[in-house]
Amino acid sequence: MSEQQPNNPLHGITLEQILNSLVEQYGWKELSKRIEIRCFYNDPSVKSSLKFLRRTPWAREKVEHLYLASQQKDNHE
């Protein structure tokens, strides 16, 4: 049974969806400039990045914050 999370803007969005959206919007090169994580600039792939982000809470938090900021920016344009 899943709990409702009406105040969580990331509810129902997977980490993979977030990462794919950011890569599509920024590309790996720009993403690695915005968030300095080795897996974004050293032979980047969604699979390796997901593995790292799932094990590293601080990095995942940065990715989630960038995603939310990019969504707010898109909504205001």
Tens of pLDDT, residue by residue over 35-65, are 999 999 999 999 999 999 999 999 999 999 9
pLDDT tens digit sequence for 1-32: 455 666 788 888 999 999 999 999 999 999 99
Pick the CATH number of 16-76 from 3.40.50.880, 1.10.3720.10, 2.40.110.10, 1.10.720.30: 1.10.720.30
Q: What is the DSSP string of 10-59?
A: TTT--HHHHHHHHHHHHHHHHHHHHS--HHHHSS--HHHHHHHHHH-HHH
Q: How many angstroms from the chain centroid is the CA of residue 40?
A: 11
The pLDDT assigned to 9 comes to: 85
Give the residue extent of every domain in the chain.
16-76
Q: How many angstroms from the chain centroid is the CA of residue 63?
A: 4
Average pLDDT for residues 60-71, to the nearest whole number?
A: 95
Angle at 72 between CA 46 and CA 59, to 5 degrees: 40
The predicted model scores a pTM of 0.84
The pLDDT assigned to 8 comes to: 82
The pLDDT assigned to 1 comes to: 43
